[in-house]
């Protein structure tokens, strides 16, 4: 089968589409014929070696951690899913023609494979971040870098929880933030003053979703480091803020819940661009530039 692999740490030159042996479903797993795989900042950060201090990798290594597709193998001990079912979820080396999933949910018929393939990481991360930062209904949250995939999920899930969200993004993306229920503002100098104008009573918590070096400023705005959390800046804890990371907690429930929300029209994902498998290098470079609204996906079939 064709799969995207990393030959080592480095830049675009280490990303290759190669022929490899097909994986097979082990106990508690399913294998899918991949239809779409989401592109995440973790993919190019892993390629660059940013995770090498806490993640052991043997090269050549597959790339991609989420996908949607059709089940074609069911491992021992698995129930509730059969060959031929459409699913989406977490796996390893998902940018490939076949991939093994470790956590999954059934894909509703009305949900496209492209959207489903881009959901797992963002909904798991957004749910965890909202839970860990401790913001509740009626409170105000500042979301820095709100127009990307995780931001898109945070805004919608926060709205459903009754949380008021101020989201930062460049001015052309403000209508997009409004469509997801947020109050938009621009990032950059003067953010604290703009936030005070939008929320005279202050904000109760803040999320850093882009890793843009803004942690100290968010702490100043919130007034308490423990109410600031990053999903992207490894240095957050040096300032007394929180850094949110896996492993996922109850992902099957989260996936099933977001699938239902999508069917009910209460949650959506904008797929900014879809790339064929052979253009994965380009997709990672687009992601690394950091201007994506919504999500990028790799379409396999």
- pLDDT tens digits along 106-138: 999 999 999 999 999 999 999 999 999 999 999
Same domain? For 23 and 103 the reply is: yes
Ranges of beta strands (E only) in the chain are 2-6, 15-19, 30-39, 61-62, 66-74, 86-92, 98-106, 140-144, 164-168, 183-185, 205-208, 228-230, 242-243, 271-276, 295-299
pLDDT in tens, 69-107: 999 999 999 999 999 999 999 999 999 999 999 999 999
Whether 274 is in a domain gets the answer yes
Cα distance between residue 46 and residue 64, in whole Å: 10
Both structure tokens of 77: 């001990």
pLDDT of 42 reads 94
Same domain? For 152 and 222 the reply is: yes
Same domain? For 60 and 75 the reply is: yes
pLDDT in tens, 267-290: 999 999 999 999 999 999 999 998
pLDDT in tens, 289-300: 989 999 999 999
Whether 255 is in a domain gets the answer no
Same domain? For 155 and 239 the reply is: yes
Same domain? For 51 and 145 the reply is: no
Whether 143 is in a domain gets the answer yes
First to last CA, the chain: 13
Cα distance between residue 301 and residue 299, in whole Å: 6
Same domain? For 202 and 179 the reply is: yes
Same domain? For 238 and 201 the reply is: yes
Whether 92 is in a domain gets the answer yes
Peptide bond into 60 cis (omega under 30): yes
pLDDT of 246 reads 83
Same domain? For 223 and 288 the reply is: no
Cα distance between residue 6 and residue 48, in whole Å: 10
Over range 215-238, report the average pLDDT.
97
Cα distance between residue 64 and residue 255, in whole Å: 17
Same domain? For 18 and 105 the reply is: yes
Cα distance between residue 87 and residue 201, in whole Å: 44
Same domain? For 160 and 81 the reply is: no
Binning pLDDT at 50, 70 and 90, where does residue 153 land?
A: very high
Domain that holds residue 239: 123-243
Whether 258 is in a domain gets the answer no
Whether 156 is in a domain gets the answer yes
Whether 252 is in a domain gets the answer no
Both structure tokens of 280: 């994965």
> Where residue 52 sits, what CATH number does that domain have?
3.90.180.10
Same domain? For 278 and 221 the reply is: no
- For residue 162, is it left (φ>0), alpha (ψ between -120 and 50) or beta? left
pLDDT of 212 reads 86
Same domain? For 132 and 239 the reply is: yes
Q: How many domains does the chain have?
A: 2
Burial of 107: CB neighbours in 10 Å, binned 0-12, 13-18, 19+: buried
pLDDT in tens, 22-41: 999 999 999 999 999 999 99
> Where residue 188 sits, what CATH number does that domain have?
3.40.50.720
Whether 146 is in a domain gets the answer yes
Q: Are 192 and 166 in contact (CB under 8 A)?
A: no
């Amino acid at each position: 089968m064709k799969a995207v692999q990393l030959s080592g740490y480095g830049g675009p030159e280490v990303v290759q589409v190669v022929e490899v042996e097909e994986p097979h479903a082990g106990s508690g797993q399913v294998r899918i014929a991949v239809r779409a795989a989401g592109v995440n900042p973790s993919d190019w950060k892993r390629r660059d070696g940013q995770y090498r201090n806490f993640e052991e990798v043997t090269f050549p290594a597959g790339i991609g951690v989420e996908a949607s597709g059709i089940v074609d193998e069911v491992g021992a001990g698995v129930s509730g899913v059969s060959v031929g079912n459409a699913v989406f979820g977490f796996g390893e080396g998902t940018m490939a023609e076949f991939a093994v999933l470790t956590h999954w949910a059934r894909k509703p018929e009305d949900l496209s494979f492209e959207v489903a393939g881009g959901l797992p990481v963002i909904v798991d991360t957004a749910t965890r971040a909202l839970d860990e930062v401790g913001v509740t209904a009626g409170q105000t949250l500042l979301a820095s870098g709100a127009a990307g995939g995780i931001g898109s999920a945070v805004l919608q899930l926060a709205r459903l929880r009754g949380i008021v969200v101020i989201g930062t993004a460049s001015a052309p993306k403000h209508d997009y933030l409004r469509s997801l229920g947020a109050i938009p503002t621009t990032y950059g100098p003067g953010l604290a003053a703009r936030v005070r104008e939008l929320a005279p009573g202050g904000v109760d918590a803040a999320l850093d979703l882009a890793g843009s070096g803004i942690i100290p400023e968010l702490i100043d705005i919130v007034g308490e480091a423990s109410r600031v959390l990053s999903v992207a800046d490894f240095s957050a804890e040096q300032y007394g803020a929180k850094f949110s990371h896996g492993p996922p907690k109850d992902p099957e429930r989260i996936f099933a819940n977001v699938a239902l929300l999508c069917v009910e029209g209460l949650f959506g994902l904008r797929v900014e661009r879809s790339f064929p498998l052979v253009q994965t290098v380009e997709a990672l470079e687009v992601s690394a530039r950091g201007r994506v609204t919504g999500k990028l996906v790799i379409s396999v079939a």
